[in-house]
Structure 1
Amino acid sequence: MFRSKQPAQQHGSVRPPALWLAAGAVLLLALISLFVGVSDVSPADLLAGDAEVWQTFLVSRIPRTLAVILAGVALSIAGFILQLMARNRFVEPSTVGTVESATAGILVATLLLPAVPIVGKMVVAALFAMAGTALFLVVLRRIPLRNTLIVPLVGIMLGGVISAVTTFFAYRFDLLQTLNTWMIGDFSGVIRGRYELLWIVAALAVVGYICADRFTVAGMGEEFTTNLGLNYRRTMNLGLVLVSLISAVVVVVVGSIPFLGLIVPNLVSLLIGDNVRRAVPWIAVFGAGFVLLCDILGRVIRLPYEVPVGVIVSVVGSALFITLLVRRTAGAR
């Protein structure tokens, strides 16, 4: 399912300039992001040495832009890893219960350990995310016919149950407003000192790139993986940990950004094929660019107010998700 549609040799001469061109477009979006917002920050003011402008630039704009890029890259690669493990194009952390489980973990940490620092909440959220993702994979193995459309629907229903239980307890303990801050991705509160945990997901994304081929093999099943000399359980556990940690860190720092890990890998697959090693760098670039574009739109649509990036990604992502489902259904007839 994830083999390249075209021989790698045909892409060899095209890949570097095309990838660098895409990276250049992302860099341009990053530069635009640095100068878009309620506070008036312009290159002229920076060159003039305005202390207040420089403070806004260093404390808010640069950290926010870096956070957007890191979150976009990591979530896109996490979605791709999950798709390789489940052998299904329509799964990603927000459609299999991973994000909902991480949110439940944060709520539990808030209730039982109110004084725990943000790193502690991240650890609890990661453990819950691992449990939720593992539960989905167990349910997936018990589905007799792993239909392309049934798998994501099962994941969405599982996530819906977890989300309902979490919302119930948040309501009982008067924490609904706090819960909403984690359920909707928003970079408006990102400042220096409150985003640095996202560098962890950058390291995890690199590990995911290195092990991408292993996840492809593991998705073929335990017997096939063992015959090729790989430890099936160890590989699956590694993928589970990577996806869970990435989801937990992003949810703790900026909140949930749904459908991102579904949209980007599928768009990359349509454009360049299914060669895993070739696809991962493109997924990273597309993920960063897509979230940057959505974040910029969120800042300019209703100036001086801001639309959370999670809302924009949800609208675009749900539309593309339905489009992909309809295309797959039409192609199967």
Structure 2
Amino acid sequence: MRPAYLVPAGLALLIALSLTTGVARLSMDREALWLIAVSRLPRTAAAMLAGAGLAVAGIIMQMLARNRFVEPATVGTGQAAGLGLVAVTVLLPGAALWLKMLISTGTALSATGLFLLIIRRLPPRDPLLVPLTGIVYGGILGAVATFIAYENDLLQYLDIWMSGEFSGVMLGRYEFLWFAGAISLLAYVFANRFTLAGMGEDMSRTLGLNYGRVMALGLTIVSVVTAVIVVTVGMLPFVGLVVPNIASRLMGDNLRHSLPWLAMFGAALVLACDILGRLVIQPYEIPVGTILGVIGAAVFIWMLQGRNAHAA
């Protein structure tokens, strides 16, 4: 059995663990069923939707940038969504959640498009320049958001928005993530076109692809998914970086074939980190974004070391 086919079984096991892991012990009564329906089931669904959406957004971002070391959290997309959320909170404090998501999507879309324009001027010889540029670019956007939040006494809210965690997820407070999941399905519909776009503008146009339209669609998917997740549960780093690279090694670069497995692996990774965050210092919790940051950073360093060893 190929390793990738173990992902569905592992995901099913993680779902069962998530539903039974928590401070309150479950017993076969009406109160336990209510707890599962109102809290643990929505939390499990939120973790899976966020993980799958960010994994899909990550592979699209890598196709558009033609670089394996980028994802929404390292190219400024997540930071721009947070900046939009801070701005709308300052200017329209009573805005509805859908309006906050719309404005966050707009800022994320604009910032990601600007990043792609910036990296087109970089020399193609060293692919590490792209993620380094993205980290600096995202740092600038994050600094602007922090400054605005500091001036308006919103630093505590900004910390919550930019640190992904699922402790506040309950029935009625996560449903917008289903919209992010539905948008992610567009990636499967247009998977072959994204694969062609990943070959470069000249090659894709030679093959008859409308490169500009595919780029616009990809940017829209990445921005919408990232903004919805940031507004709903906060930013989850490294999911869109780690998952596509591992999936590519296991399944190859045929996006239509690998995308379902990639989405399941992303869901499994975030769900596993959420369960770990609930268990490490029980009855307290560690935000899933913190655990993902540690794991993602270690894997990113391993990827860089593997690249350098291969180049040598």
Task: Report the TM-score, using the length of structure 2 for normalisation.
Answer: 0.97
Task: Output one character per residue of 1:185-241: Cα deviation in whole Å (capped at 9) or x when no partner.
Answer: 000000000100000111111111221221121233333222222211110000000
Tell me the distance in 1 between the aligned counterparts of 2:248 and 2:211.
25
Are 2:195 and 1:220 aligned?
no
Task: Output one character per residue of 1:17-73: Cα deviation in whole Å (capped at 9) or x when no partner.
Answer: x655421220111011001011222xxx23xx3x32222111101000000111111
CA contact (8 A) 2:66 2:200 kept: no
Task: Report the TM-score, using the length of structure 1 for normalisation.
Answer: 0.91
Moved more, 117-126 or 224-233: 224-233
CA contact (8 A) 1:67 1:195 kept: yes
Q: Match of 1:154?
A: 133
Tell me the distance in 2 between the aligned counterparts of 1:21 and 1:225.
34
Could you say what secondary structure the match of 1:94 adopts?
Answer: coil
Tell me the distance in 1 between the aligned counterparts of 2:278 and 2:98.
29
Unpaired runs of 5+ in structure 1? 1-13
Q: Match of 2:7?
A: 22
Pick from 152, 156, 172: which aligns with 1:173? Answer: 152
Q: Match of 2:215?
A: 236
Pick from 116, 132, 139: which aligns with 2:111? Answer: 132
Tell me the distance in 2 between the aligned counterparts of 1:67 and 1:305.
20
Could you say what secondary structure the match of 2:226 adopts?
Answer: helix
Q: Match of 2:257?
A: 278
Alignment of 1:243-258 (within 5 A): 243-258=222-237
Shift of 1:320: 0.6
Give the residue type in structure 1 aligned to 2:24.
S
Tell me the distance in 2 between the aligned counterparts of 1:224 and 1:322.
32
Are 2:175 and 1:190 aligned?
no
Tell me the distance in 2 between the aligned counterparts of 1:193 and 1:245.
20
CA contact (8 A) 1:259 1:317 kept: yes
CA contact (8 A) 1:85 1:216 kept: no
Give the residue type in structure 1 aligned to 2:306.
R
Shift of 1:272: 2.8
Moved more, 299-308 or 199-208: 199-208
Task: Output one character per residue of 1:108-138: Cα deviation in whole Å (capped at 9) or x when no partner.
Answer: 1100111111111110100010011001100
Q: Match of 2:23?
A: 38
Could you say what secondary structure the match of 2:167 adopts?
Answer: coil
Unpaired runs of 5+ in structure 2? none
CA contact (8 A) 1:140 1:146 kept: no
Q: Match of 1:203?
A: 182
Moved more, 55-64 or 211-220: 211-220
Give the residue type in structure 2 aligned to 1:155.
G
Give the residue type in structure 2 aligned to 1:31.
A
Judged with a 3 Å threshold, the aligned counterparts in structure 2 of structure 1 residues 304 and 199 are, in CA distance, closer, same or farther, namely same
Shift of 1:146: 5.1
Alignment of 1:35-184 (within 5 A): 35-41=20-26, 45-46=27-28, 49=29, 51-145=30-124, 147-184=126-163
Judged with a 3 Å threshold, the aligned counterparts in structure 2 of structure 1 residues 239 and 146 are, in CA distance, closer, same or farther, namely farther
Give the residue type in structure 1 aligned to 2:108.
A
Equivalences, count: 312
Give the residue type in structure 2 aligned to 1:24.
A
- Greater Cα radius of gyration, structure 1 or 2: 1
Task: Output one character per residue of 1:164-189: Cα deviation in whole Å (capped at 9) or x when no partner.
Answer: 11101111111000001111000000
Shift of 1:273: 2.5
Could you say what secondary structure the match of 1:207 adopts?
Answer: helix
Moved over 6 A (4+): none
> For the aligned residues, what is the CA RMSD?
1.3
Could you say what secondary structure the match of 1:258 adopts?
Answer: coil
Moved more, 119-128 or 208-217: 208-217
Tell me the distance in 1 between the aligned counterparts of 2:111 and 2:126.
21
